[in-house]
Structure 1
Amino acid sequence: MTLPTPLTGVVPPVCTPLTPDNEVDVGSLTRLVDHLVTAGVDALFVLGSSSEAAYLPDRHRRTVVDTVTGHVAGQLPVLAGAIDMTTLRVRDHVVAVTAAGADAVVTTAPFYTRTHPAEIATHFREVAAASPVPLFAYDLPVSVHTKLGADLLLDLAAEGVLAGVKDSSGDEGTFRRVLLGTRARADITDFSVLTGAELTVDSALAMGADGVVPGLGNVDPEGYVRLYRYCRSGDWARARAEQERLCGLFAMTAVGDPSRMGGSSSALGAFKAALHLRGVIDCPATAVPQVPLSSGEVERVGKYLAAAGLL
């Protein structure tokens, strides 16, 4: 389907349900998609961080995109990550996901290599030139070790290279500079600025953001849809209350013991445990080498769900 310009609303980064032996659980994935679509989300983003894209071999990535685009069947847009270390590798992913029916692609700056801003700009230009669908930048410095600057994003938006940005940097100053720049520059139109910060959606929307890409939206999509609608209607008291409830729920991402697992194991494990406890997916497994949550940690996830009114 044609991607709305600008893209707005709630765009959850869809988790990838796995079997105990690390294969894609297609049945659980389609139920998760139904869970999100029924909640009223505006688009879906597959093969991002919450999808465990960094852990998935190419055959799993293909299965995810084929399954989601086929199941959605044009009901709403599907954005797909084309995330890899360098430009030629990313372009191969663009070919694969667009052939499967993705309505837009999302990619980060190059990583592993040490790059200059001019090289990063070339990277996005080359990827956009090879893509038959709109390209979104994914600003994720915690993983790629490069922060996308406001001027770079605005210049690429003005060139028509980028259709938008998903900002997961946590840098609210640069985020605001991008928002201000999109309003101040006559050469930028229909550029979508999306926040990936689950805990400050109300403030991002108040600043002028177009939407949110919340990992926690897998667990509670209805909550983020309500939050977005409260903000858009100017009901800031309800928006604040809903945001604070979601902040309490987000605390589940810290249940994992940091002495035995990394932050991704804890956060993604919590999302999947919550989806399993809610009956959406069959198995809460995360991809190797992530460490699974213990039974006690899963029990704590359940308490957060109950406190948020989700069990």
Structure 2
Amino acid sequence: MPRPNPRTEPTPCALPAPLRGVVPPLCTPLTPDGEVDTASLRALTERLLSFGTQALFVLGSTGEVAYLSDAQRRTVVRTVSKTVGGRVPVLAGAVDMTTTRVIGHAGAAAEAGADGLVVTAPFYTRTHPVEIARHFRLVRAEVPLPLFAYDIPVAVHSKLAARTVIELAEDGTLAGLKDSSGDDAGLRRLLVALRERGLLERFSVLTGSELAVDGALLAGAHGVVPGLGNVDPGGYLRLFAHARAGRWSEAAAEQDRLAALFSIVDVGPEDAMGRNSSAIGAFKAALHLLGVLDCPATAAPQTPLDDESVNRVRSLLKQAGLT
């Protein structure tokens, strides 16, 4: 069968309606020797579903996608997709430096049961916006699942231009955007532009700025992808419900509570570990303390949390009313 020609306008491949709500980016539980702990991954998946999350996202930054082998990535997608069993959409990150490698990951994720793909711009090399747009079109042509752009300049060293997102939303290449740029003003302007073009009725905008969710929802975002949602999915679901009902003071109060809990990402000593190691280690330590994960290990070469840091996580969980 001939492959689709990415130079022609793609046939839209979108979700029936914009994806809305709380979409936690799952941690990837590991065994002490660094293999995927599928039993703990199933337990985490069921826990998030039991709270009522509207979708799940595997193999994102919180899922340590950059540290996992191709085989481990397939195991994660297959395990979560099988556990979910169609109850909610499963989005899978297909993240790598080049278009060819991303297409390979995307095809593997589709075969493993993913319902949608989350893809960054290419990285390592300096890439022009025209080339970035072509990258998304090539991926979309090869693997016809709903495709979400992942805007995370801290990791890929380029910011997705608003005009690129709008262009790819208009022609059906993209089904949505996961915005982890930290540029809340830019997100607000993008939402205005999408609304003016009538695109928010079919194009999902999900914020990754988990400390400013109430503001993003007020501006028109459809939902949130919160790493802290692994630990406290109920808090984000309450925040979203308040926002949908127009109870903005209640939403702000829940956001403030979550902001206090979010300080767990900084429990690790700065002179001994990176901030990514601290954040992922804290999420996993919290899930271990809550009895969800058998082991709080993070992937090498990340530094594990020491006992003092874990005790700080324990204290913050208690303050947040989670233990």
What TM-score do the two structures reach when normalised by structure 1? 0.98
Q: Distance in 2 between matches of 1:176 and 1:123?
A: 25
Q: After TM superposition, give the deviation of residue 48 of structure 1 in Å.
A: 0.5
Q: After TM superposition, give the deviation of residue 174 of structure 1 in Å.
A: 1.4
Kindly indicate whether residue 186 of structure 2 is the aligned counterpart of residue 174 of structure 1: yes
What TM-score do the two structures reach when normalised by structure 2? 0.94
8 Å CA contact 1:14, 1:45 repeated in 2 = yes
| Corresponding residue number in structure 2 for 1:152 | 164
| Corresponding residue number in structure 1 for 2:58 | 46
Q: After TM superposition, give the deviation of residue 114 of structure 1 in Å.
A: 1.1
Q: Distance in 1 between matches of 2:48 and 2:275?
A: 25
Question: 1:102 and 1:48, CA in 2 relative to 1: closer, same or farther beyond 3 A?
Answer: same
| Corresponding residue number in structure 2 for 1:245 | 257
Kindly indicate whether residue 276 of structure 2 is the aligned counterpart of residue 231 of structure 1: no
For residues 82-112 of structure 1, the C-alpha deviation after alignment (integer angstroms, 9 at most, x for no partner) is 1000101000111100011111000000001
Runs of at least 5 residues in structure 2 that lack an aligned partner in the other structure: 1-13
For residues 137-173 of structure 1, the C-alpha deviation after alignment (integer angstroms, 9 at most, x for no partner) is 0000000000001111001100111100000001012
* Aligned counterpart for 2:136 among listed residues 124, 142, 150: 124
User: What amino acid maps onto 2:74 in structure 1?
Assistant: R
User: What amino acid maps onto 1:250 in structure 2?
Assistant: F
8 Å CA contact 2:15, 2:175 repeated in 1 = no
The 5-angstrom pairing of residues 193-208 of structure 1 reads 193-208=205-220
| Corresponding residue number in structure 1 for 2:294 | 282
Secondary structure of the 1:266 match is: helix
Secondary structure of the 2:300 match is: coil
* Aligned counterpart for 2:70 among listed residues 58, 66, 84: 58
User: What amino acid maps onto 1:179 in structure 2?
Assistant: L
User: What amino acid maps onto 2:322 in structure 1?
Assistant: L
Q: After TM superposition, give the deviation of residue 186 of structure 1 in Å.
A: 4.3
For residues 6-30 of structure 1, the C-alpha deviation after alignment (integer angstroms, 9 at most, x for no partner) is 1110000010000010000000000
| Corresponding residue number in structure 2 for 1:135 | 147
Kindly indicate whether residue 110 of structure 2 is the aligned counterpart of residue 98 of structure 1: yes
8 Å CA contact 2:146, 2:174 repeated in 1 = yes
Q: After TM superposition, give the deviation of residue 37 of structure 1 in Å.
A: 0.2
Question: 1:4 and 1:102, CA in 2 relative to 1: closer, same or farther beyond 3 A?
Answer: same
Identity fraction in percent:
61
Q: What is the root-mean-square deviation in Å for CA atoms of aligned residues?
A: 1.1
Secondary structure of the 2:148 match is: strand
* Aligned residue pairs, count: 310
Runs of 4+ in 1 over 6 A off after TM superposition: none
